[in-house]
Amino acid sequence: MLLEGVSFTARSGEILGVIGPNGAGKTTLFEAIAGFVPKTGGSVECDALFYLPEAIRPWPDRRVGWCLDFFARLFRRQRDREAIEMLQLDQLLEARIGTLSKGEARRFVLALALGTPQAVLLLDEPFDGLDFRQTRSAMSLLRARAAAGRALILSIHQLADAARVCDRFLLLDHGRAIGEGDLRELQTRARKEDATLDEVFLALE
């Protein structure tokens, strides 16, 4: 996927949702920002960031607790107990990562990312596989972390989830940015008062 003319700002203390259908370039955008794919142009200006890729299951033979501690040691920090509690991982600390369900694995890697000290977090599909209770809990945790001064950039294809958790949105379609702003600004731009996020997206694409 090629990205063209995508320019946006994410501020400290806010959650920016990168919205778009499959193939819109959300993951490519994140990988380019994190330096995992070569850039032919453009630049990224931001504080230290951490990118959590979609659908990864690192070190499947190790235990959840061991992995959280290992990661914390690399960043010279303690285990993030609040994240472990809110993501309901405390009962899974002795479980082998390879045996986790999809939702459990997602919560585990989310805890890994939130345990890093980076000012900017890029989270690719953070709620993928989570049930509605877990999603609500994870959203509360993300809101709390944003309120503490971090900038969170989330790639979400479930627009209802995005509308609930994000402060502002970057709408991507076929590698191009088709809008940036909060829901009201996007509604105004799409000339659709009271429209939902998906209606706004369809009007702008």
Partner 1 sequence: MRWSEGRALLSKDCRELFGSTALLLLLLVAGPLTGVAFIAAVRAYAEASGGGALASALSPLDGMLVPAFGAYDLLITFLVPFVAIRLVAAEKSSGALQLLLQTPARLPAQLASKLIALLAGWLACLLPAAAALLLWRSWGGHLAFPETANLLLGHTLRYLVTCSIAIAAASILNGAASAAIVVLSFTIGTWALDFFAAGRGGWPAAVARYTPSAILRQFERGLLGLDVVIASIIVTIALLSIAAIWTAAARPPLLKAAAAAAALILAIAAIAATQHAGSADLSEDRRNSFSSADERLLRSIEKTVTIRIFLAAEDPRANDYERNVLTKMRRSLRDLRIEYPYAGRTAMFDNDDRYGTIVYRIGAKEAVSRSATEEIVLDEMETLAGLTPPRRGQSDYPGYPLNASPRGAATLFYVVWPLLVIVFFVIARRPYSRRTG
**Strands 120-124 and 49-52, how do they pair?**
parallel
Q: What angle do CA 78, 84, 87 make, to 5 degrees?
A: 150
8 binds partner 1 (CB under 8 A): no
Cα–Cα distances (Å) from 22 to 26, 33, 199, in that order, read 8, 19, 17
Contact in structure between 31 and 37 (CB atoms under 8 Å): yes
DSSP state letters, 77-112: ----HHHHHHTT-TTSTTSBGGG--HHHHHHHHHHH
Contacting residue, 24, 92, 151, 171, with partner 1 by CB under 8 A: 92
Applying CB under 8 A, the span of 74-82, 158-166, 173-181, 189-197 interacting with partner 1 comes to 74-82
**Residue 58 or 129 with smaller CB distance to partner 1:** 58
Number of residues counted as binding partner 1 (CB under 8 A): 36
Interactions with partner 1, residue window 21-40 (CB under 8 A)? 31-32, 34-39
Q: How many angstroms separate the CA atoms of 40 and 205, rounded?
A: 25
Q: Is 8 helix (H, G, I), strand (E, B) or coil?
A: coil
Cα–Cα distances (Å) from 70 to 48, 62, 90, 115, 116, in that order, read 20, 11, 16, 11, 12
Query: Least distance (Å) from partner 1 to the CB of residue 105?
Result: 10
71 binds partner 1 (CB under 8 A): yes
Q: How many angstroms separate the CA atoms of 198 and 205, rounded?
A: 11
Contacting residue, 5, 45, 74, 148, with partner 1 by CB under 8 A: 74
91 binds partner 1 (CB under 8 A): yes
Query: Least distance (Å) from partner 1 to the CB of residue 120?
Result: 11
Applying CB under 8 A, the span of 18-26, 72-80, 174-182, 193-201 interacting with partner 1 comes to 72-80
Applying CB under 8 A, the span of 56-64, 155-163, 181-189, 191-199 interacting with partner 1 comes to 56-64
Residue numbers of the site for partner 1 (CB under 8 A)?
Answer: 31-32, 34-39, 50-53, 55-63, 66, 70-71, 73-76, 91-92, 94-96, 99, 112, 116
